[in-house]
Amino acid sequence: MNRRAFIGTLAGGLLAAPLAAEAQPADKTYRIGVLFEGTPGADMAGLQPRSNLLGPFLDGLHELGYMERHNVVIERRSAEGKPERLPGLAAELVRLNVDVILASGELTTPALLAATRTIPIVQPTLTDPVERGYVKTLARPGGNITGFSLRVDSAIYGKLLELLKETAPRISRTAVLHRTSPTGGPSSTLLEAMAPAADRLHVTLLPAVVDREDQFAAAFAAIGRERADGLIVEQNGLTSRYLRLIVQFAAKSRVPSAAGSTAFSQDGGLMSYGPNVPANFRRAAIFVDKILKGANPGDLPIEQPTKFELVINLKTAKAIGLTIPPSLLQRADQVIE
């Protein structure tokens, strides 16, 4: 190579270097906040999660190329079942200036929105987000929060009653644990939706309304007085927080129970038919990825349940002296033994 060609090559290389640097920016380490309302146990240590919620989210991140201690830092926070801690934990994540926050539990949403209206929030367990004023619409949330709605259509509960009757053919008086509407007025939508199935199955529905934590005891007492031989639990934020209390009541009363949340049977309830919440957490990683790449959470539609799973807890069935029909076990998506 002659001297002129060498100098030309050198100059070209020097000019090309900055261009290459602009085209391939240095890798960035993202900071993701995680706020759980309940006690996820080993979730927060990155071990096998008791609630099986954070694990699927981390798996989803890994599939998208995000790895802890490599290109992402996970700031884990948990209220450990003490809601009064949520405002402080939310403020702590905001001070850390995380890039996005994954939230779990109904009460985490208002705590986070009180702490920030700019940091994106992905919430896989939203209940009534429009009615509660968290977002403008499901299709266009419009703020800094998006995710997944757990609101189960009322018509699903007719199917749930059919499944419970198939499981325990002798039931004739089924209590329905539900709340009034989010606006505070009386709501009979759920019972109206269940009425056709109840009439066909010759089952009397016994409404038991619970709007606050301190109303559970009275509701349970009323269910006992009405001699209910079956129990259906509405999926909402309050019942989600107190699933174990409801499960304990059903077990003590030896009443076949069913709910619109898969977590119910996983926590010891007899059966459930509802959306797959762990799958929501796995898909939440896709939302986080889009946001980290520049998407506006207010433009990401909140997804609604499209797939419902039947989960049966055989241990609970045995404890209350119930034999599950083999045909129903064959249709179950999951059987807990």
pLDDT at 115: 97
User: Are 51 and 141 contained in the same domain?
Assistant: yes
d(CA 237, CA 178): 11
User: Are 224 and 322 contained in the same domain?
Assistant: yes
User: Are 213 and 330 contained in the same domain?
Assistant: yes
User: Are 210 and 104 contained in the same domain?
Assistant: no
Distance of CA 4 to the CA centre of its chain: 67
pLDDT at 183: 40
Q: At what angle do helices 216-225 and 243-253 cross, to 10 degrees?
A: 20
In a domain, 24, yes or no: no
User: Are 176 and 316 contained in the same domain?
Assistant: yes
d(CA 285, CA 265): 25
The range of the structural domain enclosing residue 213 comes to: 156-275+309-336
pLDDT at 276: 81
- Number of domains observed in the structure of the chain: 2
What's this model's pTM, rounded to 2 decimal places? Answer: 0.72
Provide the CATH number for the domain around residue 37: 3.40.50.2300
User: Are 227 and 105 contained in the same domain?
Assistant: no
Sorted by sequence, the CB contacts under 8 Å of residue 130 that are 6+ apart come out as 136, 137, 138
pLDDT at 300: 97
User: Are 54 and 181 contained in the same domain?
Assistant: no
| Contact between 94 and 114 (Cβ < 8 Å) | no
Residue 29 has φ and ψ, to the nearest 5°, of: -95, 120
CA atoms within 13 A on the CB side of 235: 30
pLDDT at 51: 47
In a domain, 64, yes or no: yes
pLDDT tens over the chain, length 337 residues: 444 444 444 444 444 444 433 333 457 899 999 999 875 543 333 333 334 688 899 999 999 999 998 999 999 999 887 889 999 999 999 999 999 999 988 789 999 999 999 999 999 988 778 888 999 999 999 999 999 987 777 778 999 999 999 999 999 999 999 987 544 433 557 888 899 999 999 999 999 999 888 999 999 999 999 999 999 998 877 787 788 899 999 999 999 999 988 888 988 999 999 888 888 899 999 999 999 999 999 999 999 887 789 999 999 999 999 999 999 999 999 999 9
d(CA 196, CA 213): 30
In a domain, 23, yes or no: no
Q: Tokens for 86, please give them.
A: 């949520």
d(CA 245, CA 33): 29
In a domain, 51, yes or no: yes
User: Are 325 and 215 contained in the same domain?
Assistant: yes
User: Are 146 and 289 contained in the same domain?
Assistant: yes
| Contact between 175 and 226 (Cβ < 8 Å) | yes
Sorted by sequence, the CB contacts under 8 Å of residue 116 that are 6+ apart come out as 90, 94, 144
| Contact between 261 and 277 (Cβ < 8 Å) | yes
**For every residue of 221-281, which 3-state class applies, written as one string?**
HHHHHCCCCEEEECCCHHHHHCHHHHHHHHHHHCCCEEECCHHHHHCCCCEEEEECHHHHH
Amino acid, res. 154 = S
Label residues 289-312 b or e (16+ Cβ within 10 Å = b).
bbbbeeeebeebebbebeebbbbb
In a domain, 164, yes or no: yes
DSSP symbol at 45: G
Question: The tokens 């609970």 sit on which residue?
Answer: 316
User: Are 209 and 332 contained in the same domain?
Assistant: yes
pLDDT at 188: 56
User: Are 234 and 101 contained in the same domain?
Assistant: no
DSSP readout, 167-194? HSTT--EEEEEE---TTSS---HHHHHH
User: Are 171 and 70 contained in the same domain?
Assistant: no
